[in-house]
């Protein structure tokens, strides 16, 4: 009799597992018959955005540009915006490469025009928005921005060089009226029409920067 009990106990456990229904997690609002909400509305909405930033134009090996820039962006909705005008002034700092070439190798570097002013206008799309916690105590709201449009640059030789530009940015919201953003922009500008003008030059203009944005007319 006692030798048969372990077999009966095992049989009872197997039968209980077969008849048991799988456990299911429950949302807080299921007791009231509601539906769990997975996607939340945005915590912050943008309207008129004024941005002040600083950054660098790093592509010139002889002169590194320290940029002071400002932008105005009109936000239509949660996805679309128009960066109506953006402008930057480049303070060009000698990198010391010309002196190095002249002193060590006796090579005189060619004097090239320097970037002075950049103006642009862009369509902005905001496809990603979310939040995460910092050290499990502070909630940070952020969004990713993608931009594309037209740029006009002014150089130290007096030339104006237009061209297309693309970019991306990430924004961290501080309050409903203040956010911090970091931008990357790249433009291809030219002083003539390629394939038509044999002397046309195409230059890349890369901008890396960060700044603060003030939101007017939006809210939380």
126 within domain boundaries: yes
DSSP bridge partners of 179: 173, 213
Per-residue pLDDT, 201: 87
Q: How many CB atoms lie within 10 A of CB 114?
A: 15
- Residue corresponding to tokens 């002040």: 52
**Structure tokens belonging to residue 173:** 């919201």
Domain-embedded: residue 39: no
- Cα 168 to Cα 178: distance, rounded to the nearest angstrom: 19
Question: Quick check: is 211 in a domain?
Answer: yes
* Residue 52 forms part of a structural domain: yes
Integer Cα distance of 152 and 146 in angstroms: 19
- The total number of structural domains that make up the chain: 1
From 212, 137, 179, select the one nearest 44 (Cα to Cα).
179
What's the domain range around 56?
48-216
Taking Cα atoms as reference points, which of 177, 170, 144 lies closest to residue 46?
177
Q: Residue 74's domain is classified under what CATH number? A: 2.40.160.20
User: What are the CB-based long-range contacts (under 8 Å, 24+) for 155-159?
Assistant: 155/113, 155/114, 155/115, 155/116, 156/113, 156/114, 156/115, 156/116, 157/113, 159/113, 159/191
Q: Global pTM? A: 0.78
User: What is the Cα–Cα distance from 76 to 125, expressed in whole angstroms?
Assistant: 10
pLDDT of residue 22: 46
Residues, the chain: 220
What does the pLDDT read at residue 14? 44
34 domain residue, yes or no: no
pLDDT tens across the length of the chain (220 residues): 444 454 555 445 445 544 444 444 444 444 555 555 567 778 889 999 999 999 999 999 889 999 999 999 999 999 999 999 999 999 999 988 878 888 787 777 777 899 999 999 999 999 999 988 889 888 999 999 999 999 999 999 999 999 999 999 999 999 999 999 999 999 999 988 877 888 888 999 999 999 999 999 987 6
Give a yes or no: residue 171 inside a domain. Answer: yes
Inside any domain, residue 6: no
List the alpha helices (DSSP H) in the chain: 5-19, 97-105
Give residue 17's pLDDT. Answer: 46
Q: Let me know if residue 69 belongs to a domain.
A: yes
For residue 30, the model assigns a pLDDT of 46
């Amino acid at each position: 009799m006692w030798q048969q009990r372990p077999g009966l106990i095992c049989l009872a456990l197997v039968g209980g597992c077969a008849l048991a229904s799988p456990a299911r997690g429950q949302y807080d609002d299921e007791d009231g018959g509601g539906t769990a909400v997975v996607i939340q509305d945005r915590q912050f909405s943008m309207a008129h955005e004024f941005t002040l930033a600083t950054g660098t134009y790093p592509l010139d090996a002889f002169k590194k540009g320290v940029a002071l820039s400002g932008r105005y962006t009109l936000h239509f909705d949660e996805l679309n915006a128009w960066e109506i005008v953006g402008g930057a002034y480049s303070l060009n700092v000698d990198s010391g490469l010309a002196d190095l070439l002249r002193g060590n190798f006796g090579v005189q570097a060619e004097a090239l025009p320097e970037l002075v002013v950049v103006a642009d206008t862009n369509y902005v799309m905001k496809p990603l928005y979310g939040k995460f916690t910092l050290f499990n105590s502070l909630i940070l709201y952020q969004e990713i921005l993608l931009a594309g449009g037209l740029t006009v640059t002014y150089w130290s030789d007096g030339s104006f060089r237009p061209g297309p530009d693309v970019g991306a940015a990430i924004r961290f919201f501080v309050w409903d009226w203040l956010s911090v953003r970091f931008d990357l922009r790249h433009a291809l500008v030219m002083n003539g029409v390629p394939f038509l003008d044999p002397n046309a030059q195409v230059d890349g203009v890369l901008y890396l920067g960060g700044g603060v944005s003030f939101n007017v007319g939006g809210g939380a």
